[in-house]
Structures are given as structure tokens and as C-alpha cells.
Amino acid sequence: MPEQTIHILHLFPDLLNLYGDKGNLAALCKRLTWRGIEATVTTVTQDSKELSLDDVDIVFLGGGSDREQMTVAERLMPYKQALKDYVEQGGVLLGFCGGFELLGTSWWAGDIQTDGLGILDIHAERGEQRFIGDVVLSSDWTEQPICGFENHPGRMQIGDYQPLGKVIAGHGNDGVSALEGVLYKNVFATYLHGPLLPKNPELCDSILTRALTKKYPDFAELSPLDDTLELAANRFIVQNFSGNEK
Ligand code: GLN
């Protein structure tokens, strides 16, 4: 019997599910179970009657088209204070692209400026062009550069918050600041999909370590895994950009 369990709440996988975001969930769960730690996942979908954050260790918000993102924004509005409290108390929350934008105060669904949940004081403007393609970041979180895929017209303004990383190749939050993503307490949000976590195992593990340390204050560290394949996938993408850095 595993002695430790991490419980993940997957919000609206029926609406927010672009670019293999489910692979992020698979990476989180597998990297726990490979270490003998139990991973359980509860989903809240359009058909769900309620949303409870009780006993949740990681909240997961993927990305979706503007229409779906708007539906999720409406459905989550009654829970915005509960989500904010969860974040302020150090709960781990992950937002990928559409999920990233929903955390802020506003974002654009086409030409309609739309309220976000306001969990973070960030907001997305809208640019004329979509930013589409592979992205490589350097980050304080990881030795290996982080790589992922972006596809968004949003131009995220994170103010004084800490970014996830610095853009080496690609566009990132807004195409001008050379910043990508945002980190706040145990909130981790980014425009990168792809999915992101299978090919960035250090990042996945640092998220898991935060969730485990929050739940089990005596938690020491994750045991190492053989990441040969994962790191080869990462290097393949990173090497495509060497020499093309910003
Ligand atoms: N809703 C935004 C869009 O359609 C973000 C999509 C995404 O999550 N990549 O561009």
C-alpha cells in the first residue's frame, strides 16, 4: 500500500483539452506511481453539480478554444474566492494556456474582453497575430532548458510577478518582454502545451515536490528516475534552435 497520495483535481477536461494537455496529467501521475506514491484524479466537467477543493493537492486547468474557455470562466466564477484562498494557502495550481489566461483579471475571447478569475493580478491583451510554434526557455527551476509549443493570440502581462522562464526561442507571454509563464507561491502557469511535462521531467518533478512538501512537511525528495528518453526528446527540440536564439 502506498503511504503517500497526491490528489489531482482536473477542471473541465471535456472543455479544456488542447494540444495533448492530458499528457501533462499522465506525466504527473506516472512520475508519482513510478516512485510508489499514489495518484488519484477527480474531474469536474460540464455535468458536475459542484466543485470541492477539499483534500486537493494539485488543481489542473488545461487550455481550450475561446468558446470553451468562456464557458469554463462562467462555470468557475462562483468558485473564484475558494480558488484564491486555496492559492494563498500554498495549494498547487497549474494553468496551461487558456488555463493561464483564466487565472488573470481579464483576457480576450475574439474581440470580447472577458473577466478572468482574478486569482493573480495579471491580464492578457490580444495581438493581431497568433504566436504559434515551438518555444525554448531558460529557467531557474531547471538545469535543462524547458521546451514546449505555443499557439495563442493573447499577450500576457505579468507585471512584477516572477516568470516561469526567459524566452530563448519562440514568443512567450507577449513577444516583447522575453518572459514566459508565471510563478506565484505554488501557482505555475504557462502558454506552453505540447504536452509540456513529459518532455520537461525536472519541471514536472519540481511541481510534484511542491505538492508533496505541502502535504507531507517531512517529505525529503523524489527518488531519481531514468529520464533518458524524456531528456532526449527535450534535447531534440532544444538543438533545433541552437544558433537561432533571441
Ligand atoms: N483560447 C485561446 C485561443 O483559442 C487559448 C488557446 C490555448 O489554450 N492554446 O487561442
The answer to whether the CB of 19 falls within 8 A of the CB of 193 is yes
Closest CA to 209 of 195, 197, 223: 223
Of the candidates 123, 152, 171, 193, the residue annotated as catalytic is 193
pLDDT at site 37: 98
Q: Which pLDDT does position 3 carry in this prediction?
A: 92
97 is catalytic: yes
CA atoms within 13 A on the CB side of 48: 17
Residue nearest to atom 4 of ligand 1 (CA): 65
* C-alpha 65 – ligand 1 centre gap (Å): 5
Inter-residue contact 133 to 150 (CB < 8 Å): yes
Residue 194 has what pLDDT? 81
The pLDDT tens digits of the residues spanning 189-245 come to 999 998 999 999 999 999 999 999 999 999 999 999 999 999 999 999 999 887 555
Looking at residue 136, its pLDDT comes to: 97
Residue pair 164/139 in contact by the 8 Å Cβ criterion: yes
Cα 152 to middle of ligand 1, angstroms: 5
For residue 64, the ligand 1 atom closest to its alpha carbon is 8
Is 5-242 in CATH node 3.30.530.20?
no
Please indicate whether residue 155, judged by its CB atom, sits closer than 6 Å to ligand 1: no
User: In a 10 Å sphere around its CB, with 0-12 CB exposed, 13-18 middle and 19+ buried, how is residue 161 labelled?
Assistant: middle
Residue 208 makes CB contacts below 8 A (sequence gap 6+) with: 6, 28, 31, 32, 222
- Ligand 1 centroid – CA 67 distance (Å): 9
Q: What local confidence, expressed as pLDDT, does residue 35 receive?
A: 98
Confidence (pLDDT) at 234: 95
Would you call 172 helix, strand, or coil by DSSP? Answer: coil
- Report the C-alpha gap between 38 and 29 in whole angstroms: 8
The residues, ordered by sequence, that sit 6+ positions from 218 with a Cβ below 8 Å of its Cβ are: none
Q: What is the per-residue pLDDT for 141?
A: 85
Separation of CA 108 and ligand 1 centre (Å):
10
Q: Estimate to the nearest angstrom the gap between the alpha carbon of 218 and the chain centroid.
A: 26
Provide the pairing of β-strand 38-44 with 179-180: unpaired
Closest CA to 127 of 175, 193, 180: 175
Nearest to 116 by CA among 103, 98, 126, 131: 103
Ligand 1 nearest-atom number relative to CA 193: 9
State yes or no: is 123 an active-site residue.
no
- Going from N- to C-terminal start, the domains of the chain cover 5-242
User: Mean pLDDT of successive 10-residue segments in the chain (246 residues)?
Assistant: 92 92 96 98 96 98 96 97 98 98 97 97 97 96 94 98 98 98 98 94 98 97 97 94 62
Task: Look at residues 125, 104, 107 and name the one whose alpha carbon lies nearest to residue 182.
Answer: 104
Distances (CA, A) of 124 to 113, 174, 203: 9, 9, 24
pLDDT score, position 138 = 97
| Rounded Cα–Cα distance for residues 237 and 148 (Å) | 9
Which residues, 6+ apart, have CB-to-CB distance to 134 below 8 Å? 147, 148, 149, 150, 169, 170, 237, 240, 241
Q: Does the C-beta of 234 come closer than 6 Å to ligand 1? A: no
Per-residue model confidence (pLDDT) at position 245: 52
pLDDT, residue 21, reads 86
